[in-house]
Structure 1
Amino acid sequence: MMTDSIQSQPESTTGVTDTARPLNVAILGAGRIAQTMAKTLTMMADSPTYSAMVTPYAIASRSQDKADKFAATYHLPHAYGSYEAMLADPAVDLVYIATPHSLHAEQAIACMRAGKPVLVEKAFAANLEQARAVIDESDKTGLYCGEAIWTRYMPSRAVIDRIIDSGRIGAVTGINANLCYPMTHKARLTDPNLAGGALLDVGIYPLTFIDMVMGAQEIDHLATSMQPYPTGVDAQSTTTLYYADTTMATALSSMLCVSDRGGMVYGTEGYLVCHNVNNVSAVDIYNTDHARVDHIDMPEQLTGYEYEVAASVQAIRAGKRDTIEMPHADTLRMMALLDQIRDEWGLVFPFEHQD
């Protein structure tokens, strides 16, 4: 009988030894985000920039029929009707985990124990305890384990950093970011057993936008509130972070409504308007008179996922367990923040209850 979980394979420290060839990438899970990754891998394989990095190799689902249809649609040569079958394939070099948050930790650990490096979709895990267990396994096996939060890897991040570092908007004192989509029609988002809710799915992006601007600066305290969905998960929320340097940053997320997805960085000499914190398309710079003094469009991309894949391949080839863009320390810091916010709300997922 096939289940959501993966039975542990024998521990292995095997990894990619031939760094000259493209890595065979397998996708674990066949939902919507897996489809976007499959499209990305296909486009990368056809791109002069990325073709030497990856080969779209396999899909693993709990259903052989679903896996076969997925493989046919995206021209993947291998389709597995169980996760265990995919892990038994010695040709798999990297597994992209595209299942609900609540399954990430168990599946990532099983992959690494089978000798497979992993790129784990955000949120990396359901909570900090799970995230630590995954990274501990990366420590034990020496295998790469990355978090696939795409905005960390995009060129827009470096563009925003350069503007702030240049002093064009002066000293940063405030940040505001939001991301909201009507998504209650998706069953996993309203299901507390799958770590549903807006926070882990879309709320992580405004918080990540703030974190990328502020870096590892310690948060002095926070204030947060949320409106629950009838199932008990968070439907929408707002969180304000207070930093020791007096910077205030506010994040808004919702799965009930549409928002402008804006990211604002306020400074003593001007401010930035970043269009779409979930995939910044352009940045406008304004001066103290609210006059726009510059407009910067982001480079054309395949889907936006190619950056996290390329960074993962480079890390694996270099024998590293994480990337510069999303080191394990940043993953743990963000998971701790998400836990702290849920603690303030009193929101506990059913699988987190202690006997």
Structure 2
Amino acid sequence: MDKIIRWGILGTGKIAKAFAAALREVPDAELAAVASRSLDSATEFAKEYGAKRAHGTYQALADDNGVDVVYIATPHAMHHENAIMCLNGGKALLVEKAFTLNRREAQEIADLARQRKLFVMEAMWTRFQPAILEAKRMIDMGEIGNVRNLQADLGFVANAGPEHRLFNPALGGGALLDLGIYPLSMAAFFLGPVKGASGYGELTPAGVDMQANFVLRHEDGSLSACSCSLNARTPATLSIGGDKGFLRLHGRFHHAEHFTIVLNDGTEREFHFPRIGNGYAHEAMEVGRCLREGLLESPEMPLAETVELMGVLDQLRAQIGVKYSVD
């Protein structure tokens, strides 16, 4: 139970750096290795974040016997190839979102993971934030009654050129996969499985979604209204309504540290649950817990749900006219 989890990080970009910084705050974890397509980049990253080894190829990290689990931090168009390679190398995985470009790719990763009996989890860090977990617990206890409605938005203005991963169709560009996965995942987390989805989008000249709005129908008949945007700064709030009141997450909801419950009689209560550091430590701690307990999936972010939600994104992309070469 005291085993040190030896992490490898595949990629050296912004999200990889945030995760490496967070690992310093995770008990019984060490950054064993980092890989980049450039040895110089990997070496610089290793020096800055204390990785023991630097690899100049991704394959070298997949083959590194001193690594227990790999965090895949490349652009999501590369996740499928990177994940299959690392699973074939015998590595457990934490795969950054969006998990893949489509459901087919996600299913192939899940199938191989089960075949190889290796742990895989989508890096939906929001699900492991203390405030989010407490909000879910209180909703499940009936604090706002019978939950029927969720509203969530996430948007910022991306000042990047058409070649950037956010806007390049070859790299899986678009608001849905980069930002829409957050409100979608949270809607499923709070309201349950998605049984229907309808969306509208604004497309770039290259054919990826600059922004999208979508409505979800959940298994129990409840509804979610979600939006994501790369050309508008939105409040990034999330609220959940029940017949006794509503709960609202404050700040940028995907890493909220406090929330408010407002009941029908006007009473209002505010709750604070700080995260550790930049917030990425919580998902790393969950991976460590699962590995130590011999689990192949996290009950908080199971693979089947990841695959299903990639399928919902496929549906929404088809409706608004976004198509990738791997579809």
Q: TM-score range by the shorter chain?
A: over 0.9
Deviations 1:118-177 (A, max 9, x none): 110011111000000001110111011111110122222321122222323221121100
Matched residue SS, 1:90: coil
Shift of 1:184: 4.2
Amino acid at match of 1:280: A
The 1:246/1:114 distance shift into structure 2, 3 A limit, reads closer
The 1:244/1:79 distance shift into structure 2, 3 A limit, reads closer
* Aligned twin of 2:184: 207
Indicate yes or no: 2:240 matched with 1:265: yes
Deviations 1:282-333 (A, max 9, x none): 11111225x3520001234122111111111121222221111111111112
- Equivalent residue for 1:36, pick from 6, 15, 18: 18
* Aligned twin of 2:168: 191
Amino acid at match of 1:32: K
Percent identity, please.
Answer: 34
Distance in 1 (CA, whole Å) between partners of 2:83 and 2:107 is: 12
* Aligned twin of 1:66: 41
Structure 1 range deviating more: 87-96 or 32-41: 87-96
Amino acid at match of 1:26: G
Stretches of structure 1 lacking an aligned partner (at least 5 in a row): 1-18, 45-49
- Point out 4+ residue stretches in structure 1 off by more than 4 angstroms: none
Distance in 2 (CA, whole Å) between partners of 1:243 and 1:74 is: 42
Deviations 1:185-230 (A, max 9, x none): 17111110011111111111111111111123x52x3321000122
Amino acid at match of 1:90: N
Alignment of 1:92-107 (within 5 A): 92-107=67-82
Distance in 2 (CA, whole Å) between partners of 1:332 and 1:184 is: 31
CA contact (8 A) 1:284 1:292 kept: no
- Equivalent residue for 1:223, pick from 192, 195, 198: 198
Distance in 1 (CA, whole Å) between partners of 2:218 and 2:65 is: 48
* Aligned twin of 1:21: 3
CA contact (8 A) 2:97 2:124 kept: yes
The 1:305/1:138 distance shift into structure 2, 3 A limit, reads same
Indicate yes or no: 2:106 matched with 1:131: yes
* Aligned twin of 2:254: 278
CA contact (8 A) 2:3 2:292 kept: no
The 1:292/1:261 distance shift into structure 2, 3 A limit, reads farther
CA contact (8 A) 2:11 2:74 kept: yes
Matched residue SS, 2:254: coil
Distance in 1 (CA, whole Å) between partners of 2:76 and 2:68 is: 22
Matched residue SS, 1:56: strand
RMSD: 1.6
The 1:88/1:173 distance shift into structure 2, 3 A limit, reads closer
Distance in 2 (CA, whole Å) between partners of 1:243 and 1:319 is: 32
CA contact (8 A) 1:206 1:277 kept: no
Distance in 2 (CA, whole Å) between partners of 1:227 and 1:175 is: 23
* Aligned twin of 1:9: none
Distance in 1 (CA, whole Å) between partners of 2:138 and 2:289 is: 27
Shift of 1:67: 0.9
* Aligned twin of 1:11: none
- Equivalent residue for 2:96, pick from 106, 121, 135: 121
* Aligned twin of 1:309: 284
The 1:282/1:80 distance shift into structure 2, 3 A limit, reads same
Distance in 2 (CA, whole Å) between partners of 1:175 and 1:80 is: 44
Distance in 2 (CA, whole Å) between partners of 1:308 and 1:82 is: 26
CA contact (8 A) 1:209 1:277 kept: no
CA contact (8 A) 1:146 1:322 kept: yes
* Aligned twin of 1:177: 152
Distance in 2 (CA, whole Å) between partners of 1:320 and 1:168 is: 31
- Equivalent residue for 1:324, pick from 299, 308, 311: 299
* Aligned twin of 1:167: 142
Matched residue SS, 1:34: helix
Amino acid at match of 1:210: A
Shift of 1:109: 1.0
User: Normalising by structure 2, what TM-score?
Assistant: 0.95
Distance in 2 (CA, whole Å) between partners of 1:109 and 1:319 is: 21
Matched residue SS, 2:239: strand
Distance in 1 (CA, whole Å) between partners of 2:65 and 2:218 is: 48
- Equivalent residue for 2:217, pick from 242, 267, 270: 242
Corresponding residue pairs, total: 324
Distance in 1 (CA, whole Å) between partners of 2:263 and 2:272 is: 18
